Amino acid sequence: MTATLFQPVKLNDTLTLDNRIVMAPLTRCMADNDLVPTDEMVAYYARRADSGLIISEATIIRPDGQGYPNTPGIYSEAQIAGWRRVTDAVHAKGGKIFVQLWHTGRVAHPHFFGGGDVMAPSAQRLEGTVPRMRELEYVTPKAASAEEIQQLVADYAQAAANAIEAGFDGVELHGANGYLIDQFLHFDTNRRDDEFGGNAQNMARFPLAVVDAVVARIGADRTALRLSPGAYFNMESDPRDREVFEYLLPKLEAFNLAYLHLGLFDDGMEFAHLDGSATDFVRQRYGKLLMGVGGFTPQSGSAAIEQGRFDLLAIGRPFIANPDYVAKVQAGDALTEYHEGMLAELV
């Protein structure tokens, strides 16, 4: 019932994956105080190298992108060197690994970068407190100027170049889950009335500029993107969001990216303005390689691939509980069930 998962898949002329099982990005907050990957992280990723592809935990492109404690960066020489140890260990075991590039936008907090402005599309404050640091309340962000947006685009491109220097096989831009790129794509978080807001074309301008700059720097074959057409995390849904993604998806298809990745916690979620699931909404409008995610078992994920809903299956928390997830599935062995206590250590 899972044989489909173990078929190799060609992303492009540069990259072929040994199987269709992808380790999803999983924020673990285990970098050191300089946001450099640790020995434990090297071992953690190497143990999972038999997945077709590993997508690293979200990794910040510059200091003001940080919104959680001890999340790794890829903007300093020490961070690049630290990630090189990770990629070398994964490659030594025959694996492939992309880094997920991250700026949290209005979810960032000045506590992490010594004060200053939190950058976002609009001055729309997120209610609540920082996870793992409940004493920190979110602040009202600054609406980025056109010049600051141009700098952000340049910083994404530089982070992508840093990733290739660090030995990654490619990068996945985090454009989902209510973080910076996603904030530009939804009406709840983008209240701008300039060339970056107000309608679908303008709201897609910054995300497309980031993709374009990264593709120009490292190639489309090594560039991927994660998207959340349905707002469900760190923002509210708006029926007008549909127009933005109907405009965006054909533009993305023209780039010939390595893949497009859904940003979902649960594929079973339905959105009225999308006429159902975000996965099916995207599949109907994007004909290139698509990665599904969101609570799939090996059996249900394999069936979804056979049904044409997507081409690659990303697995999240079960990979925390099962470093040998791929081997277990292939052998038909029982999987260890994930529980929250497993977040406390890297296994």
List the catalytic residues. Answer: 179
Strands 129-130 and 133-137: antiparallel
Q: What is the DSSP letter of 344?
A: G
Cα dihedral 20, 42, 181, 69, rounded to 10, equals: 140
Q: Is 336 exposed, middle or buried (0-12, 13-18, 19+ CB in 10 A)?
A: middle
Q: Residue 89's Cα: distance from chain center in Å?
A: 22
Q: Which residue has the tokens 């849904």?
A: 237
| Cα four-point dihedral sign 23, 29, 35, 38 | negative
* Residue with token string 């794509």: 185
For the chain, where are the alpha helices, taking DSSP H only?
Answer: 39-46, 77-92, 146-165, 180-184, 200-203, 205-218, 241-253, 278-283, 298-306, 317-321, 325-331
Which residues are registered as beta bridge partners of 271? Answer: 276
Question: Please, are residues 102 and 55 in contact by the beta-carbon 8 Å criterion?
Answer: no
